[in-house]
Structure 1
Amino acid sequence: MSNIVTSIIQGIVEGLTEFLPVSSTGHLILTGKLLGFTGDKADTFEIIIQLGAILAVAVIYWRRIWSLLGFHQVRSTNNNEYESAHAGPKLNLLHVILACLPAMVLGLVLHSFIKSYLFSPYTVLAGLVLGGIFMLIGQKKQAIVEADGIDQLSYKQAMLVGLYQCLALWPGFSRSGATIAGGLLSGVSYRAATNFSFLIAIPMMFAASGYELLKSYDTLTSSDIGFFATGFVVSFVVALLAVITFLKLLERLKLAPFAYYRFILAAVFLAYLLMTA
């Protein structure tokens, strides 16, 4: 398969799955195996297209980001889900720091272990199943809602979401799945949990991608520019559409359909691995 086709496929996979509770890392590892696209170059490519997905979310949440940085406050003029995430001054940088710090610290400490032992197809399949179970628990055991909007989140709830986010250090578990389900268990509404999950994804993914890119930049060559640029652009466009669509549908769909999808994907891919072993 040509490099450009592989780039487009992986860009679509990243854009569709990065912010859905299905695990983008897990999908990239599994599709990479199907496409025969593995190794150092594949690892670096995944970092580049993740940056494309991050940019998409930064575009959607630019007003909120601008406000968090202290430049000005912006209030929403309508009630749609993603605009409501931009309104009000109550959410601040401390909420974001509390939600990001646990996973950043633990990820740095366990980086070598995770890379060495948790990036195989079988561990990803285990992560898909465990993450799906956790999402069903979050939906079934949702606490009484104390924060209906993102600006109503307490510091304690932000920290709890951050602790739940540590579960996503296991590839296949899903960062958005862990944080949204964790938010529900912490008394945060679906809308607020989803908006907060997407917002904290920006510093989390920039930190993780930046760290990985610094470690693997020497694998890049000028001949890879077109290949990497294609994946970046495709990931950005697809992620932009996926995030807006998901924000509009989550309160109706809930988490269960995504959990069941994860179970089916794990079963199908396990059968494939056993058949091709």
Structure 2
Amino acid sequence: MNEHIIAFILGIVEGLTEFLPISSTGHMILVGSLLGFEGQKANTFEVIIQLGSMLAILVLYWKRYLSLLNFSTIGKSEKKLDVIHIILGVIPAAFVGLVLHDFIKSQLFSPKVVVVSLIAGAILMIFAEKKHRNFTSNSVDELSYKQAFTIGLFQCLAVIPGFSRAGSTMSGGLLAGANHKTAAEFSFLIALPIMVGATGLDFIKSIDFLHTSDIPMFSIGFITAFIVAMLVAIVFLKLIEKIGLTVFAYYRIVLAALFIIFVIL
């Protein structure tokens, strides 16, 4: 298959899955395997198109990120999301990811780990839907520091390939008392700094594998992922209160079965 078509397909897959609780890693491995696009070039390509998804979040929330620079609101009694919330939501996973980065990349990026993570993440999401407490936060501005840190702790699960950063953080948000939309929006907001760190580290390690001849292919994937991720994020926030996480949990179980059939066997 033409590399430009592969780039377009994988850009769509990345954009569709990065911010949904269904594991972008699992989808990229499965689709890459089906397309026969694997190896170091594929790994580098995935790093590049993740940057497209990151840019989508930056464009959607640039005003919110800019408001976080107003340090005068920190610690005030009025309800307002501030930079401390973001830091508390990011630090746990950033620390775990930094310490275990090489181990994760060398030992955990395997189809079997992804299958187990897909199913485990699905169970967590179903549990969160059934056991979440009465909502105490109906917007990100109503989140407490404790809730932000709790969500950050759940984000640590996302360092395991296939677990899904969105799935773990949204489950943590529900269990911490945030409603679906609030959990999803905070998940988006803490995605950018954590992805900048993780993707930046991968980019540095992949830079020797970048070639000018790959620019057209990488550009197609980047732009496609950017556009699709932005559309998905907008639509997802409008629908999540109605559909919840359970439907995504069942989808993950189906995806795990497909993984076993097409990748493992």
- Give the TM-score normalised by structure 1: 0.91
Aligned mates of 1:5, 1:273 — CA distance in 2: 21
1:7 and 2:35 matched:
no
Residue number among 141, 146, 149 corresponding to 2:139 in the alignment: 149
Separation in 1, partners of 2:185, 2:213 = 38
Maintained 8 Å contact 1:66/1:72? no
Is the aligned partner of 1:226 residue 2:216? Answer: yes
> Partner of 1:42 in structure 2?
42
Unaligned runs of 5+ in 2: none
- Structure 1: gaps of 5 or more residues: 74-87
Q: Is the 1:176–1:197 Cα contact (8 Å) retained in structure 2? A: yes
Q: Structure 2 matches for 1:35-184, cutoff 5 A?
A: 35-70=35-70, 90-184=80-174
SS state of the match for residue 91, structure 1? coil
Deviation, 1:119, is: 0.9
Quote the Cα distance in structure 1 between the aligned partners of 2:107 and 2:177: 34
Cα displacement (A) at 1:272: 2.6
Q: What percentage of aligned pairs have identical amino acids? A: 53
Q: Which residue does 1:272 correspond to in 2? A: 262
What letter matches 1:35 in structure 2? Answer: L
CA contact (8 A) 1:68 1:93 kept: yes
Give secondary structure in 2 for the equivalent of 1:69. Answer: coil
Aligned to 1:33: 33
1:273 positional shift: 3.6
1:199 aligns with 2:168: no
Q: 1:89 to 1:63 in 2, by over 3 A?
A: farther
Cα deviation, residue 231, structure 1? 0.2
- Match among 170, 175, 178 for residue 185 of structure 1: 175
Distance in 1 of aligned mates of 2:156 and 2:71? 31
Question: Which structure 1 residue ranges, 4+ long, deviate > 3 Å from structure 2?
Answer: none
Q: How many residues are aligned here?
A: 261
Q: Secondary structure at the match of 1:144?
A: coil
> Would you say the 8 A contact 2:71–2:82 is kept in 1?
no
8 A Cα contact 1:50 1:209, kept in partner: yes
In the alignment, the residues of structure 2 paired with residue 69 and residue 124 of structure 1 have an alpha-carbon distance, to the nearest angstrom, of 37
Instruction: Tell me how far 1:72 sits from its aligned partner.
Output: 11
Letter in 2 for 1:103: A
Q: How large is the RMSD of aligned CA atoms in angstroms?
A: 1.6
Amino acid at match of 1:225: I
Displacement of 1:71: 9.3
Q: Give per-residue Cα distances to partners, 1:101-139, cap 9 Å, x unaligned.
A: 110110111111111121112211111111111110111
Q: What's the TM-score, normalizing by structure 2?
A: 0.95
